[in-house]
Structure 1
Amino acid sequence: MGAVATDTSTGRQTGRLPSEVTSFVGRRHEAAEVKRMLSASRLVTLTGVGGVGKTRLALRVADDARRAFPDGVWLAELAELDNPALLAQSVTEALEIRDHSARPPMDVLIDHLRDRQTLLVLDNCEHLLHACALLTDRLLREAPQLRVLATSRHVLGIGSEQTLAVPTLTLPDASGPRLPTGAFAQCDAVRLFTERARAALPGFTVTDANRDAVEGICRRLDGIPLGIELAAVRLRALSVQQLLGRLDDRFRLLTTGSRAVLPRHQTLRALIDWSYDLCTEREQLLWARVSVFAGSLDLEAAEAVCSGDGLPREEILDLVTELVDKSVLLREEHGATVRYRMLDTLRAYGRERLEAAGEEAVRLRCHRDYYRQLAADARAALFGPAQVQWFTRLQLEHANLRTALEFCYDDPAECAYGLGIAADLLYHWITSYYLSEGRRWLDDGLAVCPEPTGARARALWTNSWLAIIQSDTDAASAMLEESRAIGERLDLEPVLGYSALYSGMVAMYRGDAEAAITLYEEAVSRHRATGDPVGLALALIRLSLAHSFIGDSQRAIALGEESLAVCDAYGEGWHRAYTMMALGVEVWRQGDTERAAALERESLEFNRSLDDPLGVGVNLEVLAWIAATERDFPRAARLLGVVRTVWRAVGAPLSGYGHLVHYHEECEAAVSRALGKTAFNAAVKEGSRLSYDEGLVYALENVLPAAEPAVGERPSPLTRRESEIAQLVAQGLSNKEIAASLVIAQRTAEGHLEHILSKLGFTSRAQVAVWVAEQSRTALADGKTRSDTAP
C-alpha cells in the first residue's frame, strides 16, 4: 500500500507514493535532469527498456518535488490495467477522488485538477499508449497548473512532451586507467550489485580478489538494474566467479559465439530466461500461473488459483517462499496481512510461458472462480463484525476483481457470472472510489444478459441504488419496475423486498413521503419474513427518517431503536452508524442538541474509520444544523464549508438523502442572516479550505489546525482521537476497555485502531505501544532542548 504524504506544516495530505522497499542507488545526474525538465515542461516522459529503472527514478524525483506541488504528488500505476476504457477511472481512483456522480470520469478528473497545482506520475504507459496520450493531452490543456511525469517504453507523442531516455547504471570506463578498488566500488552499477548482494549474503564486499568478477557481471548485464538485482540473488548459492561463469555460458549460447554486444532487451530476456531455468519445475509452474493476477495476491489466492495439475496445494507456501527468495515475487505487508507482487516485466514473461503451455484460459477461469467466490463471501459476511476487514480486503483486491469481471464480459457465455460478481460487490462500489465503475459493470452486464432471471432481478435493484446515489432516479425507477416484475413472476420474496425498499427511496427523493412510507413498510415486512437483517436494517433506517420527516417523532425513534437492536444482534457497525445518524436527525428536531451531537459524532467516527464519504457528508450536515440551533453560527458556517467540499468530491449534495435538503437550506439561510453575508462567506470559505482530515477533526473535536508547528515539534501522523486511542493501547487497554473509557462503540474503537496501524505501518498493538513511548521521549527531549536554549 502506498504511503500517504503529509505537509508537516499544515497537516494537509499532499499525495500518495509507495514507500521505497530497497535503497535507491545513484541516478544523481538523471534525477537533476528530470527536475530541470519538469521546471520547463509540463510533460516529461522517461523512456527505456524494461528493468532499466524508469519507475524508481520517477518516484524519487516525484518525492523530492513535493514542496513544489502544494496540491499533491500522486502515482497512477497502470501496469495492471489492460482495458484502455478504464484509464480515466483508474486515474481518478489513484488521486482518491470521491465522486459518486454519473459524470464521465474524464470530466471528474478535469474538474478536480483544473485549479490545482499537482504532479501526476503515470507509470507504465506503453501498453495503453494511445489512451494515455489522449488523456494526458486533454488534462494538460484543461488543467493549466498540472504537470505529468510519465514512464513508458515508448514516447507518448504529444507536442509539448520532453523525453529522457533513462540510461543503464554507470560502469568504469573500460578503456581508461584501472580505478582503485574503493573508487571502483562507488560506480552506480557496482554499488547496486553490492547492496543487493549483501541482502543475499550479509557481509559481502568488493575486494581486490573479486572486483574483476563483479565488473564482469555488471558489464555482462549492461548495467540494467533489474538484471543486476536478479543476478545478485544467486550469491546465496554461487560464488561471484561462478555467477559470472554461468552468465557467460548463458549469453554465449544466445549469440552462438558472436562477439557482438547484445541488445539490452535481449540481455534482460536472457537473464530472465536464466532465472526461470534455475527454478525447479514446480517453481516455474507457479511463476507462470501467478502471472494471471493483477496487482498483488495473498497466499490463499495463490493456493486456490495456482494449485492442481502438478502443483499440490500444500506445497504452494514453500514455492512462494522460494520465489520471494529469488526476487521473482516481492513481499508486501498490509496491516496484519502479507501480500505478494510480481514486477510487470516478470509477470509478462510468466504470461508468455503460461500461454505457451496452453494453460492461460484454464488459469484465468480459476482466477475468475476464486474472485467470484470471494465476492459472494464478502456479501454473506457484510452484516457482521468482520465488515471492516472485508471492505479493506476488497479494496486491496480491486485490480483482481476487475480482471475477473473482464474475463466474464469477454465471453458471452460467461457474462452471467460477471453480472453476479458485480451485484455481489454492491457495498464495495458504494464505500470506496468505485461507484461509477460499479454502475458501468452492472449496466454492461444487464445489456448482454437480458434473460428475466433472479440474477438479473438482483442486479437491477443493486444498480438502482447506485443510480439513486447519483441522483439518476428516472433510471432507478425503470430498473426497479423491471426487477419487481421479475420478482412477482418468479415469486422471489427477497427481490420484492429490495425493490420496495429502493422504490421507497425514489419516492422520498421526489417528495412523496406517504408513498415512501408504504413502500418502506412493505420492505420491512418482506425482509422480516425472509430473515434478511441487511434489508431489514436498511428499511428501518429509511422508515425512521421518513417518519421523522412527517413529524411522527415517537415512531421515528422506535424504528431507529429497532434498527440498532438488529445491528447489535449481529455485531454490525456500518448500518448501525447510519441508524445513529437517522436518530440524530430526529433527536435534533426534538431540541436535544447535546444528545443529537453525540449520536452524530459516534456515527461520524465509524464512517470516518471506514472512509465512507457518503455517511461522513450526512453526519457533517447534521452537525452543522445542530451548531446553528445552538447559535454557534461561526462553527455552523465552517461546517457548511467542510461539507461543501465533501459533496463536491462525492458528486451530489446529500446523495441518496435528497429529502433532507430543506434542512440544509434552512440552516444556510439562518446562519447567513445571523452572521451577515460577508462574515458568513468568510467562515464557509475557511471551512472549505480545510483538508478532508482537518475538516473531520474540526467536526469531531471543534479544533482548527494550527498554522505552523513550533520549532522542534514533530507533527503526529495521527489525529487527536487516534492519538488518544494509541495512548490507551500503550496502557494495555483492550478494545472493549478503550470503547468504555471514551464512551464510543467497540467497533468504532476497532476501526480507529485499524487506521492507526495502517498510518504507522505497524501490524501489532505492541508496536503502537513502543511508538507512543518513543514519541513521549522525543517530546521530552525537544522540550528540554527548547528550555536549555531559551533566552
Structure 2
Amino acid sequence: MTILNRPPAQRLPSEVTSFVGRRHEVTDVKRFLSGAHVVTLTGAGGVGKTRLALRVAADVRRAFRDGVWLVELAALDTPELLVQTVAGALDIRDRSSRPRLEVLVEHLREKQALVILDNCEHLLHECAVLAETLIRVAPDLRILATSRQPLGIAGEQTLAVPPLALPDSDVPRPSVEALAQCDAVRLFAERAGAVLPDFAVTDDNREAVEGICRRLDGIPLGIELAAVRLRALSVQQLLDRLDDRFRLLTAGSRAVLPRHQTLRALIDWSYTLCTDQERLLWERVSVFSGGLGLEAAETVCSGDGIDREEIVDLVIGLVDKSVLIREEYPSGVRYRLLETIRQYGRDRLRESGEEEGLRRRHRDWCQDLVTRAEREWFGPNQVMWFTRLRGEHSNLRTALDFCLTAPGEVERGLAIATAMRFYWIAAGFLHEGRCWLNPLLAAGAERSVFRGRALCVNARLAVLQSDFTAAESMLEESRSLAKGFGDAATLAQIAYVSGLAALVRQDLTRAATLLEEALDRHRAVDDQVGEVNSLMYLATAHSCLGHSRRAVTLFETCLAMCETRSEHWFRSYVLSVFAIEMWQQGNTARAIEMEGESIRLKQPFNDRLGLALCVEVMAWIAAGRGDYECAAQLLGALRGIWRSVGGPLFGYLAGYHSQCEAVTREHLGAKKFDAALRKGVGLTFDGALACALQEKAPAGEQSEEAERPSPLTPRETEIAQLVAQGLSNKEIAASLVIAQRTAEGHIEHILSKLGFHSRAQIAVWVGERNRAADDERPPEGT
C-alpha cells in the first residue's frame, strides 16, 4: 500500500513580481523570530511590510513543522470575527459550539507553526489580545504581524520597515552599474521594464531615475505606481510632474516630504491622472472587500454617470494605471485594490456623500447572489456556486455587517444569512453562521416570516454543533411564527431539524417519526431539497434500527433524485451512509466503491466533516475484511482529523468506531496496534484519504479505471509516479532537472486529463494502475 504523506501545507501566495532588496531586513526578521514569539513589522502604508513578511515566511517555512500560514485582515471590518478568520486561514473546520478562541488555542497548543497576521492596524487591540493569548499557551508558535503601529504586548519585537535604500548622496556620481544596484533604483528599473521591455538605466536617464526615487523617498508602492506612468511619459516628464505635484502640495517647500505625505501625494496624482469616470469607478469599487469580478462591478458601480457597457473599458484603464490588480482564479478573472488604494477610494466616496448608497447597492448585489445560489444549489451548478460564494466570503461579511449596523436593515440581513444556510454547512462555517444570525435575531424582535425561517436555520446549525438546548428554544419560537403566518415550508424544515436532532442524540425511533413527517411536509410544498434532506436521514435512521429493506429503498430514492439533478453534495453524503448499509449486508465491494465516489464528490467543497466520515467507514471496512494494519493506521489518522473538524463522530455511528477499534486491537495485539496507530497519527489529511482509497479490492474486482489505457504521455506518467511518492513540485523539478514551473504545468495537465482535483487522487490512480500491472505480470521463474 502506498501511503501519501506530504509535508504540511504552506498557505502563502505566489510572488507575481520580483522581490527587490531588503537583505538586511530579512536577516533581522529571521533573527528576531528565533528569539521572540511575536515580531511586528511597522511602517507607513506602501512601505512593503507585507512583501517583507511573505519573503521571510517563504525562507523559513522548512523550520516550522506544522506550516506557515497567512491571515489577511485588510478586508475584515468586523472585530468579532477575528478569531474565526484566523481559524479559517489555518483551515480549522471545527463544527462544535465551543468558543472559537478555545478551539484555536487547542489547535495551536502543540504546533510548531508561523502565523502571519497581515494588516493589523484597524484591529490593533483585538490582534494584540489574540497574539498574547496564543503565545502564552503555544510555546513553539511564532507570530509575524504587519501593522502601522506595534501591537504593544509583552515580549513583542518590532522592526520599523524603512523605505528602500536610495543612492548614496555622498558619492558625487556613481557609475550606472552601481546606481542600478541601489534597491530603490533597481525596483524602479524592474517595474519600468514590465511596462517598457527595453527600459534600462543609462547615462542619459540616470539623473531623472535617481530624482524620481528620491522624490518618492524610496517607498515601494510609490515607485511602482510611478513606473506605470512610463506607458505615456518619458522618465524626465515623469520627474518633472512629480516635482510640480509635490512642490504644489508643500507650497513651494523644497524640504524632504514626510513619507505618508509623499505617498498620499502620489495617490492624489494617480487619481487626477484618471478620467472622471475612472475616478468615479475607483471610488465605487472601494465598497468591495477581498476583490470583485467584472459582473459585480457592472451591477454595483454602473449608473449615475457610468453606463454598464462602459465598465469594462474603465476597469481596463484602472488596471493599466495599477489602481486595480488583475488576478487569475480557476473561476475567472478578479480585480483587487491594495488596501492603501482602497482606503483612499473609500475616503473619496465618503466625501462625496455617496458611501451609504453604494453600500446598499453592494448589499443588494450580495443578497441577489446568495438568493440565486440557494435557488440553484440542488442542481448541476452546485460546485460553481459553492466556489463563487467562497470567493465572495469577504464581500458577504461586509454586506451582513452593513445590515447589522445600519438602521432598518435587520430583516435584509436575516434574509441573506438564511439564504446562505447550505454554504454555512458545506464550507464548515457553522460557528460563523450563528455569529451573524444571533445578533441579527437579537436586533430585530419584530415577528415576521423572515424571523421564523432564520430561527430554524440557526437551530439547524446549533444541532450540527450538538447545542441542543439552544436549538430547542429557537425551534419553539420558529414553530409559533410559522403557524401564525401559515408558513408550511418552515414547518417542514422544523420537523426535519427536530428529526435530525433526535438522530444525533441516538433517539432513533423518534428520529424516524419526525423525519417521516418532514418528508411528507416537504413533498406537500414541493420542496425537493428538503425532501432529499429528509430522505437521507430517514434512511439512516432505519438503517441504524436494522430496517434494511426500508433503508435501501429510501437511499435509492434519494440517490435517484440527486442523480437526476446532477447534484454533488447531498449525493456524497447519501453514498457515504448508504455504504455502511451495503457493508453491513456483506457487499464490501459496493461499499468501497460508494465511499470512493463520495470522497470524489466531496473534494471540491473541501468538506472535512464529510471526508472524515468516509475515512471512518473505510477503517471499519478494513477491519471487517481482516486488514487490521490499515484499519489501525486509519484510526490513528482519524484522531487528528476529528479533532480538526471539532468531532466527535455523530453519536448514531459511534458504536461502529468503538467496535472497529476493539476488534483491531484484539487481532494485532497492543504493541502492533499502537505502532500502526502512531503511523496513522503522522498522516496528513490527504495522506489519510490516499491510505483509505488504496485498500485492495477483493480478487477479480479491480476497478475498470485501472484497466483502461493511460491518457498520460510518458513524461506525465513519470511525474504522476513522483506525485504518488509524495514529492513536492520543487522536488519533482530537481529530480527530473526541469524548471519548477514546467513541473507545475505537467501536474495541471495530469489533473485536467484525469478529471481530478487533488494530488491525492493522482496517487490513488497511480496505485490502482501499479497493482493492476503487478497482477498481470507472470510469476518469477515461469
Task: Calculate the TM-score normalised by the size of structure 1.
Answer: 0.89
2:669 corresponds to which residue?
676
2:684 corresponds to which residue?
691
The reply on whether 1:713 has 2:735 as its aligned counterpart is yes
Q: 1:643 to 1:725 in 2, by over 3 A?
A: farther
Deviations 1:690-722 (A, max 9, x none): 01111111111249985889996369999xxx9
The residue matched to 1:167 in structure 2 has which SS?
coil
Question: Contact conserved, 1:470 with 1:652, CA < 8 A, in 2?
Answer: no
| Number of matched pairs | 728
- The residue correspondences of 1:396-415 to structure 2 (distance < 5 A) are 396-415=391-410
Deviations 1:84-103 (A, max 9, x none): 22111111111111111111
Q: 1:673 to 1:432 in 2, by over 3 A?
A: same
1:104 to 85, 99, 103: 99
1:176 to 159, 171, 175: 171
Q: Distance in 2 between matches of 1:156 and 1:594?
A: 57
- The residue correspondences of 1:273-352 to structure 2 (distance < 5 A) are 273-352=268-347
- Letter paired with 2:221: L
1:662 corresponds to which residue?
655
The residue matched to 1:155 in structure 2 has which SS?
coil
Question: Contact conserved, 2:428 with 2:607, CA < 8 A, in 1?
Answer: no
* CA apart distance, 1:32: 1.1
- The residue correspondences of 1:603-618 to structure 2 (distance < 5 A) are 603-618=598-613
The residue matched to 1:164 in structure 2 has which SS?
strand
* CA apart distance, 1:674: 1.8
1:505 corresponds to which residue?
500
Deviations 1:313-357 (A, max 9, x none): 111110011000000000111114000110010111101100000
- Letter paired with 1:679: K
Q: Distance in 1 between matches of 2:761 and 2:84?
A: 25
1:88 corresponds to which residue?
83
Q: Distance in 2 between matches of 1:612 and 1:355?
A: 40
- The residue correspondences of 1:155-304 to structure 2 (distance < 5 A) are 155-304=150-299
- Letter paired with 2:225: L
* CA apart distance, 1:728: 8.4
Q: Distance in 2 between matches of 1:455 and 1:161?
A: 47
The residue matched to 1:634 in structure 2 has which SS?
helix
The reply on whether 1:118 has 2:104 as its aligned counterpart is no
* CA apart distance, 1:460: 1.6
* CA apart distance, 1:452: 3.0
- Letter paired with 1:143: A
2:379 corresponds to which residue?
384
The reply on whether 1:57 has 2:79 as its aligned counterpart is no
Unaligned runs of 5+ residues in structure 1 are: 1-7, 731-737, 739-748, 760-771, 773-791
Q: Distance in 2 between matches of 1:427 and 1:336?
A: 20
* CA apart distance, 1:592: 1.4
Deviations 1:31-53 (A, max 9, x none): 11111111121211111111111
Q: 1:134 to 1:544 in 2, by over 3 A?
A: same
Question: Contact conserved, 1:12 with 1:694, CA < 8 A, in 2?
Answer: no
- The residue correspondences of 1:406-555 to structure 2 (distance < 5 A) are 406-555=401-550
Q: Distance in 2 between matches of 1:233 and 1:281?
A: 19
* CA apart distance, 1:756: 7.5
The reply on whether 1:15 has 2:10 as its aligned counterpart is yes
* CA apart distance, 1:219: 0.5
1:762 corresponds to which residue?
none
CA RMSD of aligned residues (A): 2.4
Question: Contact conserved, 2:686 with 2:760, CA < 8 A, in 1?
Answer: no
Question: Contact conserved, 2:298 with 2:311, CA < 8 A, in 1?
Answer: yes
- Letter paired with 1:645: G
Q: 1:756 to 1:623 in 2, by over 3 A?
A: closer
The residue matched to 2:88 in structure 1 has which SS?
helix
* CA apart distance, 1:418: 0.7
Question: Contact conserved, 1:17 with 1:73, CA < 8 A, in 2?
Answer: yes
1:640 to 635, 643, 646: 635
- The residue correspondences of 1:768-787 to structure 2 (distance < 5 A) are none
Greater alpha carbon shift after TM alignment, 352-361 vs 490-499: 490-499
Greater alpha carbon shift after TM alignment, 445-454 vs 406-415: 445-454
* CA apart distance, 1:210: 0.7
Q: 1:360 to 1:116 in 2, by over 3 A?
A: same
The residue matched to 1:296 in structure 2 has which SS?
coil
Greater alpha carbon shift after TM alignment, 427-436 vs 120-129: 427-436
* CA apart distance, 1:430: 1.4
The residue matched to 1:76 in structure 2 has which SS?
strand
Q: Distance in 2 between matches of 1:617 and 1:601?
A: 13
Greater alpha carbon shift after TM alignment, 226-235 vs 500-509: 500-509
Q: Distance in 2 between matches of 1:445 and 1:93?
A: 22
Q: Distance in 2 between matches of 1:211 and 1:370?
A: 50
* CA apart distance, 1:610: 2.1
2:63 corresponds to which residue?
68
* CA apart distance, 1:152: 0.8
1:742 corresponds to which residue?
none
Q: Distance in 2 between matches of 1:500 and 1:200?
A: 62
Q: 1:407 to 1:212 in 2, by over 3 A?
A: same
Identical residues among aligned pairs (%): 56
Greater alpha carbon shift after TM alignment, 339-348 vs 508-517: 508-517
The residue matched to 1:16 in structure 2 has which SS?
coil
1:785 corresponds to which residue?
none
The residue matched to 1:148 in structure 2 has which SS?
strand
Deviations 1:156-197 (A, max 9, x none): 111211111111111211222311111111111111111111
2:717 corresponds to which residue?
none
* CA apart distance, 1:9: 11
The residue matched to 2:335 in structure 1 has which SS?
strand
The reply on whether 1:577 has 2:599 as its aligned counterpart is no
Q: Distance in 2 between matches of 1:87 and 1:236?
A: 41
Q: 1:433 to 1:505 in 2, by over 3 A?
A: closer
The reply on whether 1:152 has 2:147 as its aligned counterpart is yes
Q: Distance in 1 between matches of 2:415 and 2:44?
A: 41
2:593 corresponds to which residue?
598
- Letter paired with 1:559: L
Q: 1:556 to 1:725 in 2, by over 3 A?
A: farther
Unaligned runs of 5+ residues in structure 2 are: 697-722, 767-782
* CA apart distance, 1:634: 1.4
Greater alpha carbon shift after TM alignment, 352-361 vs 434-443: 434-443
Consecutive aligned runs of 4 or more in structure 1 exceeding 4 Å deviation: 703-712, 714-718, 722-730, 755-759
Q: 1:729 to 1:50 in 2, by over 3 A?
A: closer
The reply on whether 1:367 has 2:362 as its aligned counterpart is yes
Q: Distance in 2 between matches of 1:66 and 1:423?
A: 40
Question: Contact conserved, 1:197 with 1:232, CA < 8 A, in 2?
Answer: yes
Deviations 1:213-240 (A, max 9, x none): 1111111111111000001100111111
Greater alpha carbon shift after TM alignment, 559-568 vs 588-597: 588-597
1:48 corresponds to which residue?
43
* CA apart distance, 1:457: 1.7
Q: 1:685 to 1:403 in 2, by over 3 A?
A: same
Greater alpha carbon shift after TM alignment, 401-410 vs 546-555: 546-555
Deviations 1:642-696 (A, max 9, x none): 2222211111212xx3211112112222212222233222222221210111111
Q: Distance in 2 between matches of 1:723 and 1:571?
A: 30
